[in-house]
Amino acid sequence: MSTMYSKRVAIPHSTHAPVPNATRVGKAADDRTIRVSVILKRRTALDVASLAGRQMSREEYAANYGASQQEFDAVCAFARASGLTVDATASSLLRRRVELRGSISAINQAFGVELNDYEPGGAGTGGTGSGGEEPGRAAPPGAQHGRARFHAIVGPVTLPEELVGSIEAVLGLDNRPIATPKFRVRRGAASSPDAGSFTPPQVAQVYHFPAAPTGSSNGAGQTIAIIELGGGYHPADIANYFSNTVGIAAPTVTDVILDGGSNDPTTASSADAEVLLDIEVAGAVAPGANIVVYFTSNTDQGFQDAISTAIHDATHNPSVISISWGGPESSWSRTAINAMDTTCQSAAALGITITVASGDNGSSDGTKGTSVDFPASSPHVLGCGGTALTAKTGQRASEVVWNDQASGGGATGGGVSAVFPLPTWQANARVPAVGAGGRGVPDVAGDAAPDTGYQVLVDGQAQVVGGTSAVAPLWAGLIALLNQQLNRKVGFLNPQLYPLRETTFFDITSGDNGAFAAQAGWDACTGLGSPNGQALLTALRAVVATASAPSKP
């Protein structure tokens, strides 16, 4: 390494905790080549709240909020001096990303770390990582099957002092599976759905979505981005599902492949169920919208890259991003959380809504205490919780918090973030004062119970699938409809939703997710409630009209 650099210091919050639920195999081979992403800070700080709902153009964002060219060049120079290769094609000033490749020996020296190889499982490893299988759900790709071995570090990441102030995170030093898909297959169900389940258009009808999918107002002109960290789909499944199950034209579906991800369908018991659930729910609710699926690796590096790519994809130009993957806040490094959240800030500034499943393991989120799921806990996304919905003749009959844990099933995630402080727009939401008091999760809800779940087609098999994974694409489809009806992007919805009248939502007041109980108004199980779509459209139309009205002299 070049000696032109001063003393080394740790990147703030970069310390990686001991690897949970894994056994150390040994030191990673020095000559193995890996890829590392250095995420730079913005050249100008971005204060989303100060925008007060204003949405930037891509041109304005690019001119002000990418990385500094000087700092970008400095990191590239350091990398080359350290024997690393800069991937110019994958690097981006706009996305604040410097993509590096090199041997593990060179990576260790450049970042002051020691990479070790691990395998999932092992006695005495403890923790709550993304490992085990859950009832009614396939193990996530790479968790216990597939790519079993992974590399990781313990301790901080260090760099020369003059570089640290410009760097937000270094991703790729830990490529353990970071997230699980938030779907639940109905247990013991026959292959043919029964009357307790729904097609997505039936759920849309119950929730009074503002346009029938067969009508002219069907999300046309919008693009829904879907992030997938595993699994895949057969185009024939999509064609058959829309033709035979819901009886409408199939949406246009496009794949974008990133970071070693792939559209790799295998079996109906795999993460394929997640991919098909996302596409079929969003597509059936808003079949006029284009759907773009961003397939990436199940790592914090791949996850961040997929969200960043979707946000800045000027070719497909998504107006809403649906995410049904995540993990407990405690399973993430703080720098990875920060990098993901600042990426979500970019979406908020550009008027792109991000809907995220809040988790399927109740108030514990699979930990020993209470925890919320990330990225649902980011204050720049719309966290989506789950309910158990029943309907008669297309009308909502009853709705309670989804919680099947007493019978060995799942429950909607929800609670209070231990990372993000209480946002101003939740100041009057009566978020419980847990710990230091933080951002309450979720923001909204929708049908998620497997017993009242969604009829989907996965690898040729008809299934009924629930989980909060279904709610994120359901809300994404609704937002595509709202955008079309309003002739503008609703964008970062959270500050707009909390002041609205309670009649904008179907308030859920019965049930709990473990530590938290439903109540009138917002709660840490179902947020503000399930959508009353037409009422939400009317309310947002009034917000748009007020914002567009000329100011009085």
Mark residue 521 as left, alpha or beta (left: phi above 0; alpha: psi -120 to 50; beta: remaining): left
| Segment holding 292, helix H or strand E | strand 290-295
Active-site positions?
Answer: 274, 278, 469
Angle at the Cα of 92 from the Cα atoms of 88 and 96, rounded to 5 degrees:
135
Residue (of 508, 525, 507) closest to 516 by Cα position: 525
Residue 322 C-alpha from the chain's centroid: 7
CA distances from 70 to 40, 77, 550 (A): 11, 11, 42
DSSP E strands, 377-448: 382-392, 395-401, 415-421, 438-441, 444-447
Report the C-alpha gap between 49 and 123 in whole angstroms. 47
Mark residue 126 as left, alpha or beta (left: phi above 0; alpha: psi -120 to 50; beta: remaining): left
3-state secondary structure of 291: strand
- Do 502 and 480 touch, CB atoms closer than 8 A? no
Report the C-alpha gap between 64 and 62 in whole angstroms. 6
In order, the DSSP letters of 164-209 are HTTEEEEESS--S---EE--EEPTT--SS--TT-B-HHHHHHHTT-
3-state secondary structure of 433: coil
> What is the C-alpha end-to-end distance of the chain, expressed in Å?
64
- Do 386 and 392 touch, CB atoms closer than 8 A? no
Report the C-alpha gap between 507 and 322 in whole angstroms. 23
For residue 170, how many other CB atoms are within 10 A of its CB?
28
Structure-block tokens of residue 118 = 């691990």
- 461 HSE (CA, 13 A, CB side): 17
- Do 440 and 519 touch, CB atoms closer than 8 A? no
Mark residue 17 as left, alpha or beta (left: phi above 0; alpha: psi -120 to 50; beta: remaining): beta
